[in-house]
């Protein structure tokens, strides 16, 4: 009657699918701190977003907790996950109705929930990673190598100064401040969103800075989802079609050419128009949004993968975009942001 179908082992959790008779279930076995955060995030988000049905949860001991969800059958079909929309052969316009349906869900919740908060639920992705990742990943030798390092990224000449950026983001995250925030999961990536639509992964569910949410979305669709994650994240092994749609990144001496997914660029533009513009407008005065954005953006580049341990062209690609959006570009409006994306 019981059948184990699939198991994935990650650093802090084991997850998978099992069946009892004909009924399938998805489970997560997490270290106790993340179990508590995931359960809290789920209970918060379920009031605002379509989520999986949690049918069992338990602290197994002082080290681990278990969550069991009803299996979401819509992800069994080809178009079930967001990753499948970006790995098929359709254009953005052909899949636009499905993608806009997801964006409209975010827009609806963000407009209802936007307010200033000092606390947030996404410390686990940002503030907490200053010590656990930034300070552990990047030693003095690596920082010196990419300080005053000159590269060309697409049409931009970039002088990388990693030392200055690292000092700046550490200062930014050294204290809490009131930031415009929305109710979100703060991890809108291809494997956390079902086309239905439905959200998976609730670790950071709750009130999170609007620009943290956008920074994750932006970096994911600029370079992570169609390039870095399939190369360096084993979770994509079951989604083989995405490997046929990888962005092309060519490095010749200090010149890097990144052919960005046309479909993802259009998705970013649509997100800005459909979600960010009306939500920022509702704040009536969120003038320093870009300062928030660039710091969260920097952490997404530096604190997901260890950029010092990946291929050199991918290191330069990541640090080139970091320098470009952190210090070089002077972005003072969402319209200018859109123009830059179109020109990349």
pLDDT tens by residue, 123-151? 999 999 999 999 999 999 999 999 999 99
Return the percentage of the chain with pLDDT > 90, whole number.
90
Reply yes or no on whether the pLDDT at 182 is more than 70: yes
Q: What is the pLDDT at residue 330?
A: 86
Angle at alpha carbon of residue 33, lines to 73 and 56, rounded to 5°:
35
Higher pLDDT, 237 or 144: 144
Which residue ranges make up each domain of the chain? 2-71, 77-343
pLDDT tens by residue, 76-86? 766 799 999 99
Q: What is the pLDDT at residue 98?
A: 96
Verdict on whether the full-model pTM lies above 0.85: yes
CATH architecture of 2-71: 2-Layer Sandwich (3.30)
pLDDT range class, residue 10, cuts 50, 70, 90: confident
Q: What is the pLDDT at residue 77?
A: 61
Those residues whose C-beta lies under 8 Å from the C-beta of residue 63, and which sit 6 or more positions away, are: 31, 32
Region 172-195 average pLDDT: 95
| Burial bucket for residue 274 (CB in 10 Å: 0-12, 13-18, 19+) | middle
Reply yes or no on whether the pLDDT at 257 is more than 70: yes
Range from 12-26, 145-159, 245-259 carrying the lowest mean pLDDT: 12-26
Q: Which tokens is 299 given?
A: 């952490």
Please report the beta strands in the chain, taking only residues with DSSP state E, as ranges in sequence order. 2-9, 13-20, 23-31, 54-59, 64-70, 115-117, 147-153, 156-161, 179-184, 193-194, 198-199, 206-209, 248-252, 255-259
Reply yes or no on whether the pLDDT at 12 is more than 80: no
Residue 297: CB atoms within 10 Å: 24
Q: Which tokens is 22 given?
A: 């004909």
Region 144-173 average pLDDT: 96
**Mean pLDDT of the residues in the chain:** 95
Q: Which tokens is 88 given?
A: 């098929």
Region 250-259 average pLDDT: 96
Reply yes or no on whether the pLDDT at 232 is more than 70: yes
If phi > 0 it is left, if psi is from -120 to 50 it is alpha, else beta; for residue 116 that is beta
Q: Please name the residue that has the structure tokens 């009031």.
A: 47
pLDDT tens by residue, 67-123? 999 999 998 766 799 999 999 999 999 999 999 999 999 999 999 999 999 999 999
Range from 82-96, 195-209, 234-248 carrying the lowest mean pLDDT: 234-248
Q: What is the pLDDT at residue 8?
A: 83
Reply yes or no on whether the pLDDT at 26 is more than 90: yes
Bridge partners of 135?
Answer: none
Are 191 and 220 in contact by the 8 Å Cβ rule? The answer is no
In the three-class reduction of DSSP (H, G, I as helix; E, B as strand; rest coil), residue 336 is classed as: helix
Alpha helices in 201-286 (DSSP H): 210-219, 229-232, 262-271, 277-283
Torsion of the alpha carbons at 261, 265, 268 and 274, rounded to the nearest 10: -130
Q: What is the pLDDT at residue 280?
A: 97
Return the percentage of the chain with pLDDT > 70, whole number.
99
Q: Which tokens is 233 given?
A: 């994240």
Q: Which tokens is 311 given?
A: 């291929």
pLDDT tens by residue, 306-334? 999 999 999 999 999 999 999 999 899 99
Q: What is the pLDDT at residue 176?
A: 86
Region 164-187 average pLDDT: 96
């Amino acid at each position: 009657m019981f059948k184990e179908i699939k198991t994935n082992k990650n650093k802090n959790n084991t997850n998978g699918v099992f069946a009892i008779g004909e009924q399938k279930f998805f489970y997560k076995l997490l270290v106790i701190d993340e179990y508590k955060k995931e359960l809290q995030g789920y209970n918060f988000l379920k009031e605002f977003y379509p989520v999986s049905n949690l049918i069992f949860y338990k602290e197994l001991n002082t080290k681990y907790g278990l969550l069991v969800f009803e299996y979401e059958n819509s992800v069994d079909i080809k178009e079930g996950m967001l990753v499948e929309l970006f790995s098929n052969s359709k254009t953005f316009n052909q899949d636009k109705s499905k993608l806009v349906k997801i964006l409209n869900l975010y827009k609806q919740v963000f407009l209802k929930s936007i307010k200033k908060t000092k606390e947030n639920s996404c410390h686990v992705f940002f503030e907490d990673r200053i010590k656990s990742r930034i300070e552990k990943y990047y030693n003095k030798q690596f920082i010196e190598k990419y300080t005053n390092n000159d590269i060309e990224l697409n049409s931009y000449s970039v002088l990388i100064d990693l030392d200055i950026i690292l000092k700046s983001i550490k200062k930014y995250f050294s204290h809490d401040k009131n930031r415009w925030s929305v109710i979100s999961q703060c991890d809108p990536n291809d494997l956390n969103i079902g086309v239905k639509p439905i959200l998976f992964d609730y670790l950071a569910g709750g009130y999170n800075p609007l620009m943290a949410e956008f920074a994750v979305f932006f970096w994911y669709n600029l370079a992570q989802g169609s390039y870095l994650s399939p190369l360096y994240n084993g979770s994509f092994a079951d989604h083989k079609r995405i490997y046929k749609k990888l962005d092309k990144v060519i490095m010749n001496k200090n010149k890097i050419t990144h052919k960005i997914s046309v479909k993802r660029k259009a998705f970013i533009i649509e997100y800005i128009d459909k979600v960010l513009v009306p939500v920022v407008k509702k704040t009536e005065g969120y003038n320093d949004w870009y300062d928030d954005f660039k710091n969260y953006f920097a952490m997404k580049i530096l604190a997901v993968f260890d950029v010092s341990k990946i291929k050199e062209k991918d290191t330069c690609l990541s640090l080139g975009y970091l320098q470009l959006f952190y210090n070089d570009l002077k972005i003072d409006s969402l319209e200018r942001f859109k123009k830059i994306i179109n020109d990349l």
